[in-house]
Chain A
Amino acid sequence: METAYESTKKRKQAAQKDIAEPVKKYRIKSLRKREELSGFLFISPWLIGFVALTLGPLLFSLYVSFTNYNITSKMDFVGTQNYHNMFFNDGLFWTSLWNTLYFVAFSVPLTTAGAILLAVLLNQKIPGIKVFRTIYYLPAVLSGVAVYLLWMQLLSPSTGLVNTALSWFGIRGPAWLFDPEWTKPALIVMKMWSVGGGMLLYLASLQGVSKAMYEAADIDGASAFRKFFHITLPMITPVIFFDIVTSLIGGFQIFQEAYVMTENGDGGPVNSLLFYNLHMWNKAFEVFDMGYASAMAWFLFVIVLGLTVINLKFGKHWVHYGGGDEK
């Protein structure tokens, strides 16, 4: 049996413990809190910017996608009507989605392969290689509208440089930007021109591949071909992965090219260059249907998110990170 004294003592101890513990915790917490506070203060410029300028509008547009918002006169909740119209009543939506998928499906693999090929070529040790590197990187420095205008001249059907060059080989070039069958290929060719940016990343990672592996392969008598596919490629997969993820996201955002290179920015012959974002832009700023445009934007987000998740999932199976931590 417990005596009254003992029980009182126990209670006292317990009470003391109760008091003592919080005091200790309070001290730690307050130090952590203060550190946290200054941490938040340090990143507050970014935080405020993100909340006010990105997160706020982002959530606003999500809400807007369920309304008939037109900026100036109305904002009534219409449920999923915008999404319904998108899938069932707007033929141009499907056209624009198809055009965008077509562009992404060809341009992403081609530019990735092109950049790798270029990087491997420019990784050779020959005199003057730095000059070549600079030359191939240059197009990536030039930007935007000026490049598109230049390409409109290059792709001109009868006097453009592209078709002139083709005619030297007896090929009669297509009308590129005027023939709906060739408008998208024309844009993809144009994109190939600026693989220099990706090339730079690959070049850096190629130079990080350990020489020891090539030496070991040489001793085993591996051919250049085998060395490329069994050493070089696996070693640069992290960069390939990064490049594919980012250029896939970028590919879906194609807009300027079509806006600048088609008459009145209306999507080219037979809407062959009406990309998703161009259609969205027209809906938002030509007819002020912000609700619909926001719905389109969120649907594109879902597509890109889905593809990126798939990418990350499958990435595990083919991306090789040197330095262990493999599962």
Chain B
Amino acid sequence: MKRVSVLFISILILLGMLAGCSGSAGGPQEESSGDSSAQKGKITLNFWTFWGSETRRPVIEKIINDFNQSQDDIYVKHTFLPFGDIWTKNLAAISAGNPPDVIINDINSVQHRAKNNQSTNLSEYIKDDSFKDNFYPRLWDTVLYKNEPYAVPFNTDTRLLFYNKKAFKEAGLDPNKPPKTWDELEAYAKKLDKKSGDRYERIGFYPLWGSFGPPSWLMNADNGKGFLSKDNEVQINTPEKLEGLKWLKSWNDRIGAENVNAFKAEFGSEQSNPFIAGKVGMWVDVATFYTQIRDFGKDMDFGVAPMPAKTSDARHWSDGGGFVAEIPKGAKHPKESFEFIKYLTGEQAQTYWASKNFDNVANKKASEDALSKLSGNDKMVYKEAVDNLQVTTMNPVPADAPDYQNKINPLIDAVLLGKEKPENALKKAQSKVEQSLKK
């Protein structure tokens, strides 16, 4: 009798455990963006984005709602996943054979995912050859792997020079003449510096704050050429890039690494952005940085300009990233998914997105249409951003050496800290990256 009850209890416990396991599978935070009764008899598509902020979420959900209302067969369900989780969750879902139907993913690594069988080849669904003409050619290029599209570009960004007009006036500079060349930039920056004793109260400009890192500056220096050419030719150790690196280092020498670090450590939350707080005179950032100025810098008098060029006859090269819509490998309804992607990247949805977020959208026509819906500062910033796309380069990561930048960054860090000669650093970086691409 005793034995039986022992057995019975242990089985009971076991069953309880198993039941507990199956019941508590915590899924991502889901939120349907419409009436659930409306989805009966329709194909439901799971759409994953990381747009959960107060500014973006309503915009994307309105776009989804519009799509759902126009549809008889497809119902799109939006799932928000935090930016830090979305790629790994997607990867896990793909390998488990249960991925979302459409996901917003990074534009520069499309080829890498295509090569690794993580996304669906879209050429089968794009029947119309002119489809690609809807988008900026540079963006379309990034979604091609072996000449076939694996994603559709959704939005992009571009770096601009924001400058504080009030500080310009104070320093005796013309607030309507932003610096056009590196030399002007440096001269203006010196005038904008404000010191009390040894300490800086305001730093006119420091090239590596904001969102234009060393790779971007060296691209700007080298006539728009990034570290890798389109055919993955390594072009790191060039005379132009060497000059650029020396120039970057010269800022550290002039301002002092300690001052740079001290200032940098204070950049934390958006409210204390040093440009908005008036502690830095000029600042490079993406166009949507404007929404921070608008929200946190009360009536700040600022201007926006293209990136300064290395010399007066060079172009104002800037760089950009962005996001694409793609269908993860193994998604159940690729045809319907593409139908939704077409809407998402179509004129109507893209115009709405652009005019609400001041974001550069990938659809050419929408990008221009949105301009007419804006006014004032909104229009000024947005127009600069759209114009700037002409000189914006993309730097997709090569499918064979996706982490090639990890080999370059520490060497550049070492140069900026005075621990390595610029010549040696570029030479080493060149050979290291060549080696990793050969493998």
Contact = CB atoms under 8 A, between A and B. Distances in A.
B417 interface: yes
- Which secondary structure dominates where chain A touches chain B? helix
A71 interface: yes
B261 A175 contact: yes
Nearest to A178: B261
Contacts of B417: 179-180, 269-270
Contact of A266 (B262, B409, B414): B409
Given A38-B6, A72-B95, A282-B403, A270 B11 contact: no
Interface in A171-224: 175, 177-180
A74 B14 CA distance: 37
B261 A179 contact: yes
A288 interface: yes
Contacts, number: 95
Most chain A CB within a 10 A radius of its CB, from B10, B91, B265, B268: B265
Interface string B394-437: 00000000110011011001100101000000000000100100
A298 to B, nearest CB: 21
B116 A157 contact: no
A70 interface: yes
Contact of A158 (B7, B112, B262, B413): B262
A226 interface: no
B258 interface: yes
Interface centre among B7, B402, B406, B409 (most CB of A within 10 A): B406
Given A72-B91, A158-B265, A266-B406, A288 B116 contact: yes
A160 interface: yes
B13 interface: yes
Given A41-B14, A71-B95, A270-B417, A285 B88 contact: yes
Contact of B261 (A92, A157, A287): A157
- Chain A interface bracket (under 10, 10 to 19, 20 to 34, 35 or more): 35 or more
A147 B66 CA distance: 44
Interface in B66-116: 87-88, 91, 94-95, 112, 115-116
B264 interface: yes
B239 to A, nearest CB: 25
A42 interface: yes
A73 B7 contact: no
Nearest to B419: A270
A127 interface: no
B3 interface: yes
8 interchain residue pairs of minimum CB distance: A73-B117, A41-B10, A158-B262, A178-B261, A175-B261, A156-B265, A45-B17, A270-B413
8 contacts: A48-B14, A73-B116, A74-B117, A175-B261, A270-B413, A283-B403, A285-B91, A286-B403
